[in-house]
C-alpha cells in the first residue's frame, strides 16, 4: 500500500466510518455481486474478479467494471439476487434500486484507498457466506502439490 500512496490508518478509519453502516445489509442474501468503480481505478476491476474466483466462484459470482466499461452491455443478463456495489461512483441504472449499494470514496482517493475499500467489502461478503475457500483449500493444495511436483502448504486458518 505504501507504493500506491495513502496513509493506512487514514484509509482504515475512512472505511470503518463510511462502510460498516452501509454493509449491514444481509450480504448472504446475494449470490452475485457487480462492482462499479471510477474509470481511474479500472485496473482494480481485474483484481476484484480474481479475488472472487479465488474465494467463491462458481458458488458466488463477482463481476467488476469501470463506470465506462459497465455501459457496454455488461448487465443485459442479471440475477434476481445480484447486488450492484458502486464504489465511489453513482449508479442510477444498473440493477433494481433495492439491489444497489453505494459506497463512497474520498474525493482525493488513490489506488490504495480504492483497493482497500474493495477488498474490505469482499471480506464482508466472504464473512456473510460459508467458508468456501477455507473448506476447499486443503484439497487444492494437495492437487497443486502433485501438479507442480513440490509440497504446497496450506496456510489458511
- One of 3.40.50.10490, 3.40.50.2000, 2.70.70.10, 3.10.450.50 is the CATH number of 8-130, namely 3.40.50.10490
pLDDT tens digits, 1-14 = 566 677 889 899 99
Distance CA 97, CA 80 (A): 12
pLDDT tens digits, 35-67 = 999 999 999 999 999 999 999 999 999 999 999
Q: Which residues pair with 61 in a beta bridge?
A: 32
pLDDT at 65: 98
Q: Which has more confidence, 2 or 137?
A: 137
Return the sign of the alpha-carbon dihedral for residues 141, 146, 147, 149: positive
pLDDT at 22: 83
Q: State pTM to two decimals.
A: 0.90
Q: Using DSSP, how many helices (H) and how many strands (E) does the chain show? A: 4, 4
Location of C-alpha cell 482525493: 108
Amino acid at each position: 500500500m505504501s507504493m500506491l500512496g495513502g496513509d493506512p490508518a487514514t484509509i482504515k478509519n475512512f472505511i470503518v466510518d463510511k462502510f460498516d453502516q452501509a454493509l449491514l445489509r444481509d450480504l448472504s442474501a446475494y449470490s452475485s455481486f457487480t462492482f462499479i468503480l471510477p474509470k481511474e481505478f479500472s485496473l482494480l476491476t481485474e483484481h476484484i474478479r480474481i479475488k472472487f474466483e479465488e474465494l467463491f466462484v462458481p458458488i458466488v459470482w463477482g463481476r467488476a467494471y469501470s463506470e465506462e466499461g459497465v455501459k457496454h452491455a455488461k448487465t443485459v443478463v442479471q440475477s434476481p439476487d445480484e447486488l450492484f456495489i458502486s464504489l465511489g461512483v453513482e449508479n442510477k441504472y444498473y440493477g433494481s434500486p433495492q439491489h444497489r449499494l453505494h459506497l463512497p470514496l474520498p474525493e482525493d482517493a488513490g489506488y490504495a484507498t480504492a483497493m482497500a475499500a474493495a477488498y474490505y467489502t469482499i471480506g464482508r461478503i466472504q464473512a456473510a457466506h460459508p467458508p468456501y475457500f477455507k473448506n476447499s483449500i486443503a484439497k487444492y493444495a494437495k492437487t497443486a502439490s502433485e501438479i507442480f511436483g513440490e509440497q504446497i502448504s496450506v496456510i489458511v486458518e
